[in-house]
Amino acid sequence: MVNDQKQYVEMWEESDQGEQTEENQQYFEDPQCTADSPQVLTFPDITSAAFKIKTGIIRTPCVKSHLSAITGMDIYLKKDFLQFTGSFKERGACYALMMLSEEQRKYGVISASLGNHALALSYHGHRLGVHVTVVMPIIAPIMKIQCCKQHGAEVIVKGNDMKEAKAHAMNLAQKKGFTYINGYDHPHIISGQGTLGLEIVEQVEDIDAVVVPVGGGGLIAGVALAVKSLHPNIKVIGVESERCSSFSQALEAGKPVPITIQSTLADGLAVPMVGYNAFVTAAPLIDKMVLVKEEWLAIAILRLVELEKCVVEGAGAAGLAAILAGQLNELKGKKVVIPLCGGNIDTTILGRCLERGLAVDGRLVKFSVTVSDRPGGIADLCKLVNKTGVSIKDIIHERAWIASDVFSVQVTVVCETMDKEHANKLRQVLNKNYTRVVFGDTINPIVNDF
């Protein structure tokens, strides 16, 4: 396995794929994370981290899931969202801070982050007496910004995205002597994240596969190294949102490449380019990469809330999303571990995710129907819906812009059903009793000629 990693680095260097463009040199200035000399982590790096941080982090449970019955797999959930700050990021942050020299501790550390890494650094920095500065882009959740401040960190909100936030953080590091700690590519960060893999193989016997969410690559690099070093037969599968497939594209190119990312429910995975150290460490160890659609992320969040009573963010639910989407059916009948790596989801986003999951699940239905505007027209519609056992959540009617006749009214209804079969029954009843019925997102509540 180690030889495979060395060969991968040599192939990269020989093909000049490690060279940086002028643009990338400006973006990646961290001497610990460079394209021309990527660092391949080893198993002793992880065991060292495990010894150092054992009193600083929580050994989270890894338990069999109720989802096993509906997926046909023996699923175990590693609940690392139960760390104090709500994510696995504490492992790497704790280790990186503990490994600082006295000189580095004197000046403090800095990093750019959307949230989880910033929270982890802030918490453990306060605990260990290290001054922490975090630069967060304006798109960072307000809740996470406030939590970082509560942990005593200096928070700077600057930059439209992570690239701009990181550039500002690197400039401050150079000017003020801060140590920059990359949230997914610093060697100590990757080593710390690998302790999650050690715990998994200690807690669950005879594992067939581990399905890991992938953003910058630090988690899967550490977990894959830990798992494969102890049990080479275990499959390591990475999962990304199709809207931010930075690792998949890096594998295709043979090196980390910058990509354009789109907004996603898995915002914790939205990294424009994977780490150099993470890539050379993880690439030869990953057995498969999977891209999941947004709707399956929403369904995974919903299933975890309903069946496991776990509130998990989109990034943390990515592994389960791939299984629910049927993209890993080769694991049927196998023992599979899924790290639930983060639970810091904004409450408003959680509400939207649950509603989107219900809609994809066929349990939240929207339809528009044209009914008579004479007395009793809307009442008859409500009685008809009630007879099917469907619960109406919202109803809106429109007269002025309807394109049929002045004696009709367009009614848009949002209702809740038990499942897709129940929703289909409602569809059949409405189509039988009304001539103009439209279901789904194609509805235009203002202008709609049915």
DSSP string across 279-300: HHHHGGG--EEEEE-HHHHHHH
3-17, 53-67, 209-223: which has the minimum mean pLDDT? 3-17
**pLDDT at residue 255 above 90?**
yes
H helix intervals, 286-394: 294-303, 318-324, 347-360, 377-387
pLDDT at 376: 82
Helices marked H in 204-334: 218-230, 246-253, 276-282, 294-303, 318-324
Please indicate whether residue 393 or residue 204 has the higher confidence score (pLDDT): 204
pLDDT class of 79 with cuts at 50, 70, 90: very high
pLDDT tens track for 377-390 = 888 888 888 888 98
**How far is it, in rounded angstroms, from Cα 262 to Cα 258?**
13
Per-residue pLDDT at 405:
66
pLDDT digit string (tens) for 278-329?
999 999 999 999 999 999 999 999 999 999 999 999 999 999 999 999 999 9
Average pLDDT over residues 194-212: 97
| Structure-block tokens of residue 67 | 């989802």
The pLDDT assigned to 66 comes to: 94
Q: For 390, which DSSP code?
A: P
Q: Give the pLDDT of residue 200.
A: 98
- The whole-number average pLDDT for the span 245-258 is 95
Mean pLDDT of 123-143: 92
Placement of tokens 């809307």 in the chain: 378
| Those residues with Cβ within 8 angstroms of residue 233's Cβ, 6 or more apart along the chain or in another chain | none
Confidence of residue 23 (pLDDT cuts 50, 70, 90): very low
**Which of the two residues, 299 and 409, has the higher pLDDT score?**
299
Q: Residue 394 is inside which H or E element, if any?
A: strand 391-398
Residues linked to residue 155 through DSSP beta bridges, in sequence order: 134
DSSP state of 407: T
Q: Is the dihedral of CA 151, 156, 157, 161 positive or negative?
A: negative
Q: Is the pLDDT of residue 399 over 80?
A: no
Strand order across the 364-372 sheet: 391-398, 408-416, 364-372, 437-439
* DSSP 8-state secondary structure symbol assigned to residue 238: E
Q: What is the percentage of the chain residues whose pLDDT exceeds 90?
A: 60
Q: Which residue has the higher pLDDT, 23 or 338?
A: 338
pLDDT at 2: 45
pLDDT band at 150 (very low <50, low <70, confident <90, very high): very high
Joined tokens for residue 129: 């007496």
Q: Would you say residue 444 has pLDDT above 70?
A: no
DSSP string, 103-142: HHHHH-EEEE-SSHHHHHHHHHHHHHT--EEEEE-TTS-H
**Percent of the chain whose predicted confidence (pLDDT) is above 70:** 90
At residue 160, the pLDDT reads 85
The band of 9, judged by pLDDT with boundaries at 50, 70 and 90, is very low
Q: What is the pLDDT confidence band of residue 437, given thresholds at 50, 70 and 90?
A: confident
With beta carbons less than 8 A apart as the criterion, state whether 218 and 194 touch.
no
> CA 277, 193, 198, 306 torsion: positive or negative?
negative
Q: Is residue 366 within 8 Å of residue 413, measured between CB atoms?
A: yes
H or E segment and range at residue 200: helix 187-203
Burial class (CB in 10 A: 0-12, 13-18, 19+), 140: buried
What is the band of 32 on the pLDDT scale with cuts at 50, 70, 90? confident
In whole angstroms, give the CA distance from residue 380 to residue 373.
Answer: 11
**Would the pTM of this model clear 0.75, i.e. be above it?**
yes
pLDDT tens-digit map of 154-184: 999 998 877 888 889 999 999 999 999 999 9
Q: Which two tokens stand for residue 261?
A: 């990312």
Helix (H, G, I), strand (E, B) or coil at 392: strand
- The residues, any chain, with a CB within 8 Å of residue 20's CB and separated by 6 or more, are 28, 34, 35, 36
Amino acid at 200: I
Give the range among 26-30, 276-280, 354-358 with minimum mean pLDDT.
Answer: 26-30
pLDDT at 424 over 50: yes
Asked if residue 11 has pLDDT above 60, the reply is: no
Band of residue 29 on the pLDDT scale cut at 50, 70, 90: low
Confidence of residue 17 (pLDDT cuts 50, 70, 90): very low
DSSP string, 12-74: HHHTTTTPPPHHHHHH---TTS-SSSPPPP-HHHHHHHHHHHTTTS----EEE-TTHHHHTSE
The number of residues in the chain equals: 450
Please give the span between the terminal C-alpha atoms of the chain, in angstroms, as a whole number: 63
The torsion angles phi and psi of 411, rounded to 5 degrees, stand at: -120, 125
Judge contact between 146 and 85, C-beta under 8 A.
Answer: no
The tokens of 348 are what? 């408003």
9-23, 185-199, 202-216, 362-376 — which is least confidently predicted? 9-23
pLDDT of residue 393: 86
Looking at every residue in the chain, the average pLDDT score rounds to 87
Using the predicted structure, report yes or no on whether residue 190 has a pLDDT greater than 60: yes
At 337, give phi and psi (nearest 5°). -110, 130
What's residue 242's pLDDT? Answer: 93
- For residue 93, give the 3-state DSSP assignment: helix
Are β-strands 62-64 and 109-112 bridged in parallel, bridged antiparallel, or unpaired? Answer: unpaired
